[in-house]
Amino acid sequence: MSYSQLAQMERYRILEMLLPLLLVVGTATATSQGSVATTCPIAKIEPQRLPDMNVPRFSHRLCYLNGELTVFGGHTSGFVLTRTAEYLKDGVWHEMPMVYNHDDPVFVPLRNGKVLLAGGYEKNLGIGQTYEVEMYDPSTHTFEGFGCLNKRRVHGMGIEVESGKVYISGNWYHPDGIELYEGKMQFAYVKETSEQRSLPFLFRTSDGDVLVVNSCHDNYGNSITSSVVDRVKGEPFHVPLLETWHPYLIHQGYACDVCFIGNEQKGDFAYLMPLKNAEGQVAIAEVRDTVFSLLPTDCLVPMKFGAADIIYNTPVVVDQSIQRGYVMGYDTIDCHRYILTIDYAHRPAQLKLYYTEPMTHTQSCTPILTPNGDLVITGGIGYRNTNFAPVAEVWLFPFGRPVESAEASSSVWWLWVLWFLLIAAFLIAFLYIYKRRRRLSSTPLPNVKSNELMDRITELMEKEQLYLDSDLNMSKVATRLGVHRNDVSMVVNTSKGISFSQLVNTYRIEHAKQQLLLNPDIKILNVAIGSGFSSDTSFFRTFKAIVGVTPKEWITQQTTDRL
């Protein structure tokens, strides 16, 4: 009997041991949580009126800097651009002159504490686009005009991937594309996008890439239903989820990382993204690197309040300290404001809808979290729903950061005990399987079998060129050969004295050398991808490690030798 067959028998044995406990815990969990409900818990919230801004605003930007609520630009009464900003300190709004007008600009709070503002409408009434860029320093409350966009923009979005390095995409009534800011006066062109987008979602990934995801509209206000996602460093790719679920309209720009739920220090990059289907039902998606999936919730996102339809119009604003997201909405009948809370630490995530008494304005900027965990909105357009009559109102929604009561915690103590028992059982089972595998894998394969298996691996590499698959791993090869992955690792190490990955990379580098010799002018990225590498960075690193020189130096050596 082979090692893989023995291992499979062990897995079945462990499953039989754990099945009764799994059934008990699963039943208990289902009983405590229930199935997905069609109705969502609802509660009333009393917003607090903060001092009005000096200038009525809409299409402005908002953030907290040094503990000060700060607003930038936008347009004011009459749909006239305002070249001002304001910050709230000691209950008073302090107005500041800006260098340029920024109505619906690119807005990026940077890690160094400053704020990058770029582009916006060129004229009153939302006409044209600008190239203009400036930086705000909250320590001095001053603005500095310093640069020029590569492409004039409005309704653009920007995201900082590392200190001082910002990617920008999105436009309105002008061509889209991706450009880069690296602390210089001129912004650099990066690439065109497969889709023309207005206010796209920008998501960072664990490998330093940036995804550019459709919002509701293209750059001319047409609806986008494409499921294609662009990325800065790679080719566009298709997301099946986006075939049936599409973003709803988020009219106001915001800081892209407000919906970040990951942990950058641990290399976990994840976001929450609001979507709706053809029937108008809203749901929340979780975007983890390049994987898009619907977030399971304990109830459907509510779409009505009484007879009024709820219109959600903001991204998910995340409070990471309590692992909760907020989405705001309104209705056009009674003028209530709505806040949907998403406690995403739970699986399924727990939803709750809060509503206010009727308020005087329907749309405002994306809400911002205060240092205490409350939500604040500023400005917006009034009950007449027109850009010509923005308001100066500022409202705080007192969510704070609730502490779970002892009664609620103790009510499910028995469920925690069951989960603890399950985890303990899994740990015991894991240690048992691990020891068995170590004992089985330590038995060397017979020489005849080892030689035969190595010949078959060589045949897969040289005749079928399996190494050209960038996702190739030992499990794939083992599956092709009908053996366990440990057999593959052992025979390669015994026969060649190297690891499986080193063997694959050796074949890839030899293939790359042939491509470079046949076509010296070929782009290095094309050689890397065509030889099975996932990126040019890994190709350069592997090439130098194996050959001893860079690809360019190797080509030069070959040319010199021929002469």
Q: What is the pLDDT of residues 405-424, one digit of tens each?
A: 333 344 445 556 777 788 88
CA dihedral 172, 173, 175, 178 (to 10 degrees): -10
Contact 349, 37 (CB under 8 A): no
Instruction: Confirm whether 510 is domain-assigned.
Output: no
**pLDDT for res 417:** 72
Question: Is 448's pLDDT higher than 50?
Answer: no
CATH of the domain at 183: 2.130.10.80
Average pLDDT over residues 203-208: 94
The pLDDT-based confidence of 435 (bands split at 50, 70, 90) is: low
Q: Which residue has the higher pLDDT, 272 or 22?
A: 272
Please name the amino acid found at residue 340.
L
**H/E element holding 181?**
strand 178-181
Contacts of 8 (CB under 8 A, 6+ apart): none
Instruction: Average the pLDDT over each of 20-34, 85-99, 165-179, 466-480 and give the range with the smallest value.
Output: 20-34
Determine the angle formed by the axes of helices 3-33 and 485-496, rounding to 10 degrees. Answer: 140
Its domain, for residue 251, covers: 42-402
Q: What pLDDT does 410 receive?
A: 41
- Please check the confidence at residue 446 and state whether its pLDDT lies above 80: no
Residue 288 inside a domain? The answer is: yes
Q: What is the mean pLDDT of residues 66-80?
A: 95
Q: What angle do CA 342, 345, 350 make, to 5 degrees?
A: 40
Does the pLDDT at position 303 exceed 60? yes
Predicted local confidence at residue 14, as pLDDT: 52
Q: Does position 252 have pLDDT exceeding 90, yes or no? A: no
The region, left, alpha or beta by phi > 0 then psi within -120 to 50, assigned to residue 532 is left
Is residue 308 pLDDT above 80, yes or no? yes
Contact residues for 184 (Cβ-Cβ < 8 A; gap 6+): 147
The pLDDT value recorded for residue 416 is 65
Using a pLDDT cut of 90, give the percent of the chain over it: 58
- What is the predicted pLDDT for the residue at 23? 47
Query: Has residue 362 been placed in a domain?
Result: yes
- pLDDT band at residue 28, thresholds of 50, 70 and 90? very low
Q: Output the pLDDT for position 381.
A: 86
Residue 25 reports pLDDT greater than 90: no
Confidence of residue 445 (pLDDT cuts 50, 70, 90): low
The beta-carbon contacts of 498-505 under 8 Å, at least 24 apart in sequence, are 500/474, 503/457, 503/461, 504/461, 504/467, 504/472, 504/532, 505/542, 505/546
User: How would residue 520 be classed by pLDDT, with cut points 50, 70 and 90?
Assistant: confident
Q: What is the dihedral of CA 542, 545, 547, 553, to 10 degrees?
A: 80
- Which of 172-181, 282-291, 356-365, 411-420 has the lowest average pLDDT? 411-420
Q: 480 is written with which tokens?
A: 């092709």
**pLDDT (0 to 100) of residue 79:** 96
Whose tokens are 């999936």? That residue is 293
DSSP string, 236-284: -EE-GGGGT-B-----S---GGGGB-SBGGGTB-EEEEEEE-TT--EEE
Least confident interval from 15-29, 356-370, 539-553:
15-29
Higher-scoring residue by pLDDT: 33, 342: 342
Predicted local distance difference test score (pLDDT) of residue 1 = 42
Work out the average pLDDT over 203-210. 94
Residue with the two structure tokens 């065109």: 192
Residue 384 confidence (pLDDT) above 80:
no
Q: Is residue 369 one of the residues assigned to a domain?
A: yes
pLDDT band at 551 (very low <50, low <70, confident <90, very high): confident
Is 372 among the domain residues? yes
Q: Tell me what pLDDT residue 344 has.
A: 97
Q: Which position has the higher pLDDT, 106 or 430?
A: 106
CA-based R_g, the chain, Å: 29
Q: What is the pLDDT of residue 340?
A: 97
Separation between Cα atoms, residue 89 and residue 93, nearest integer Å: 6
In a domain? residue 228: yes
- The answer to whether the CB of 350 falls within 8 A of the CB of 298 is yes
Q: Determine contact, residues 506/546, Cβ cutoff 8 Å.
A: yes
Dihedrals φ, ψ of 90, to 5°? 55, 40
The burial of 396, by beta-carbon neighbours within 10 Å (0-12 exposed, 13-18 middle, 19 or more buried), is given as: middle
Q: What is the pLDDT of residue 10?
A: 52
Kindly indicate the confidence band of residue 17, based on its pLDDT and cuts at 50, 70 and 90. Answer: low
Q: Does residue 89 fall inside a structural domain?
A: yes
Comparing CA positions, the residue from 35, 115, 39 lying closest to residue 70 is 115
Q: Is the dihedral of CA 447, 448, 449, 453 positive or negative?
A: positive
Closest Cα partner for 285 from 219, 362, 376, 214? Answer: 214
CB of 393 within 8 A of CB of 401?
no
Beta bridge partners of 70: 63, 87
3-class secondary structure for 108-147? EECCCCCEEEECCCCECCCECCEEEEEEEECCCCEEEEEE
Kindly state the average pLDDT of the residues 149-176.
95
Our count of domains for the chain comes to 1
d(CA 539, CA 235): 17
Helix (H) or strand (E) holding 327: strand 324-330
Q: Lowest-confidence range among 199-213, 429-443, 518-532?
A: 429-443
Mean pLDDT of the chain: 86
Q: Is the pLDDT assigned to residue 447 strictly greater than 50?
A: yes
Q: Which residue has the higher pLDDT, 265 or 444?
A: 265
In this predicted structure, which of 255-259, 291-295, 312-316, 426-430 has the lowest mean pLDDT? 426-430
Give the pLDDT mean for 71-97: 96
Task: Report the range out of 10-19, 218-227, 273-282, 503-512 with the highest average pLDDT.
Answer: 273-282
Predicted local confidence at residue 434, as pLDDT: 63
Cβ-contact 149, 133 below 8 angstroms: yes
Task: Note whether residue 308 is domain-resident.
Answer: yes
pLDDT above 80 (res 39): yes
The pLDDT confidence band at residue 32, using thresholds 50, 70 and 90, is: very low
Cα gap 458→112, rounded to integer Å: 53
